Structure 1
Amino acid sequence: MPLEEAAGRMPGAGSRARRLRRAVFGAFVALVAVFGMTAGAGASATAKEPAEGPARFAPGFRHGKVVVEGGAVHYVIGGSGPAVVLLHGWPQTWLMWRPLMPELARDHTVIAVDLPGLGDSAVPAGGYDKVTTARRVREAVRRLGFDRVAIVGHDLGVLVAYPWARDFPGEVTRLAMIETPLSGFGLEELYGVSWHFRFNMSPAPIPERIMDNDDVSTYLGMIFDFSYRKDAVDRESYYRAYADPARRSAGYEYYRAFAADAENNKANAAKRLPMPVLGIGGQYSFGPGVADSFRQVADDVRTVVAPDSGHFVPEENPRFMADCASLFLGARTGTPPRPELASCAP
């Protein structure tokens, strides 16, 4: 739906639409810039993590799996205190959260999951719409003993976090949403920015037959070039994670469900989110566009622009992301130590 048409249907939505268009244009300019630059060598390779048992990236964390409808969900857990769930984006896995997890674990029980079908989670036969995915991840977290959580999501993880919070508002205390607008409320405006949207949404088996194992680093490397700090993303770990054709197909299925997600989101938009929402966009990517999208479905939305970051904020600027999340989640109080953190304070 064109933003002008959406604006005509919602009081005050015209200015939001204009801001989102500006954010989309800014994203396009940023993408043109990054494609004109030489790609970095990639983040340093780290030790491969197990699927179960003690984690290697930091002490005090452990891997496990919990069986839910659709198959086992892989998780990494550590720390103590109120629970915060970390939901990764595509084409990544829970690994993207490693720079933040030890910091957040000082005051929280941190639970990072691999979304169903990705990473070390089982590949479901179906159910890649975000309502079903949210219910599966929620079931996994509840089986771990947590029925009240804050959620931090990036990219695809944002799209899963929203129906979780919308449909179970009494169980979600806060949302920190990074680098994507919602389906039905702005995401469609980005389809022309990068061809990967339409490619991933193509009916099976079109992308499955076009993309083979030898193409993984080329294709995903293009996606990771949406970063501002190209050397910050641990590309090799993600190339390994998507070397399995079944994992790649699961990723496509998430995209193929975008149209159904948009319809569901619009049909349920009257269920406005009651909890505080932090909309975080990278300085060189979506900027205020994330918050503008969420203002259409939530009442308490704060805008944060992450400095020195493109699309992959948690890896490109982990110090800022850890400080911002800690403030927003209530682990730190008082005056924010830096002006760019002002909107992160609870």
Structure 2
Amino acid sequence: MFVALVMALLTTTASADANRRIHEPSEGPARFAPGFNHGKVAVDGGTLHYVRGGSGPAIVLLHGWPETWLMWRKVMPDLARNHTVIAFDLPGLGDSSVPTTGYDKVTTARRIHEAVRKLGFTRAALIGHDLGALVTYAYARDFPAEVARIAVIETPLAGFGLEELYGISWHFRFNMSPAPIPERIMDNDDVSTYLGMMYDFSYRPEAIEREPYFRAYADPARRTAGYGYYRAFPADAENNKANAARRLPMPVLAIGGQYSFGPGVADSFRQVADDVRTAVAPDAGHYVPEENPRFMSDCARLFLGPSTGTPQRPELAGCAP
């Protein structure tokens, strides 16, 4: 009886912990860690949802598809030790409002920039994953004086290697298909199957809590917003190539998963930036912040920390400030 009671308590506690991790409000105190709060800020085209915590210089976190700000929750407490951490939901995704247009990365970067300024910061470091990395590049290129450093994770840049991936996974062409093709093919019952396939691409799929993302993309309007980011890839590529001479002046940390892009991220960004450092996340595939959060937080804190910081492990060598 005692053993059964203990096991029941442990199971209840574990379930409660899981619920605290994955059921977050859209406003007010966050549940995933103390000291973080949800908020919304008005920008051109609607409102952006964000989660903010910590103090000090700002770090802006931009997620990829098919995820939301939640992908950063495992690393945000560590980053908040010495920084103000702001994780946004990209326009149209998560709890941000859905704009009717403007899914190209230049427009998206302008919206994020407007939000950062309205939150009181005139300078920030940026970390972007997947789609968020493409937005991070546009932000850093168009507002270089307001960007200290950037880190880009797990994507080559549109116009400089992204197109070579279209044949690797059919989801690229599917998401890029004109409306209403994917909208009519994909319905709510298909979300877990389709997005589940994307998470299965990872090296450690068990590290990804899928249910919050399934719920986030259950809304057809938000699925269309996700397609909008992909449909903008050709325009993004043209813009990036036309502006490639405006090379990024700030340090760029390019992170690839050991079992995914590896050093290929850095190879792409060297075509548009002068100071690119290569880091390969061990034991990780595409979703580095979730698959290996210890590496992600240690690497980011080193890269964004004092210039006297030194790598404590060999895999952090590329993260040196």
Q: Give the alignment of 1:102-181 within 5 angstroms.
A: 102-181=77-156
- The code of the aligned residue for 1:288 comes to P
Change (3 A) 1:209 1:239: same
| Cα separation, 1, equivalents of 2:306 and 2:75 | 14
User: Aligned to 2:148, what secondary structure does the other structure show?
Assistant: strand
Aligned-residue offset at 1:332: 8.1
| Cα separation, 2, equivalents of 1:250 and 1:174 | 28
Q: Does 1:311 align with 2:286?
A: yes
- The code of the aligned residue for 1:236 comes to E
Aligned-residue offset at 1:335: 2.8
Q: TM-score, normalised by structure 1?
A: 0.87
Q: Give the alignment of 1:283-302 within 5 angstroms.
A: 283-302=258-277
Residue pair 1:336, 1:345 contacting (<8 A) in 2 also: yes
Misfit runs of 4+, over 4 Å: none
| Cα separation, 2, equivalents of 1:295 and 1:227 | 25
Change (3 A) 1:331 1:222: farther
| Cα separation, 2, equivalents of 1:253 and 1:320 | 32
Q: Does 1:76 align with 2:51?
A: yes
User: Aligned to 1:231, what secondary structure does the other structure show?
Assistant: helix
Residue pair 1:79, 1:106 contacting (<8 A) in 2 also: yes
| Cα separation, 1, equivalents of 2:201 and 2:107 | 29
Percent identity, aligned pairs only? Answer: 80
| Cα separation, 2, equivalents of 1:144 and 1:176 | 21
Q: Give the alignment of 1:1-346 within 5 angstroms.
A: 46-330=21-305, 333-346=308-321
How many equivalent pairs are there? 304
Deviations 1:213-244 (A, max 9, x none): 00000000000011101100111110010000
Residue pair 1:107, 1:331 contacting (<8 A) in 2 also: no
Change (3 A) 1:44 1:233: farther
User: Aligned to 2:103, what secondary structure does the other structure show?
Assistant: coil
Residue 35 of structure 1 corresponds to which residue in structure 2? Answer: none
| Cα separation, 1, equivalents of 2:28 and 2:307 | 31
| Cα separation, 1, equivalents of 2:210 and 2:154 | 18
Aligned-residue offset at 1:120: 0.1
Q: TM-score, normalised by structure 2?
A: 0.93
Higher relative contact order (CA 8 A, sep 6+): 1
| Cα separation, 1, equivalents of 2:180 and 2:96 | 22
Aligned-residue offset at 1:334: 3.5
User: Aligned to 2:34, what secondary structure does the other structure show?
Assistant: coil
| Cα separation, 1, equivalents of 2:308 and 2:178 | 49
- The code of the aligned residue for 2:38 comes to H
Residue pair 2:22, 2:212 contacting (<8 A) in 1 also: no
User: Aligned to 2:277, what secondary structure does the other structure show?
Assistant: strand
CA RMSD, Structure 1 to Structure 2 (Å)? 1.1
Residue pair 1:87, 1:94 contacting (<8 A) in 2 also: yes
Unmatched 5+ stretches in structure 2: 1-16
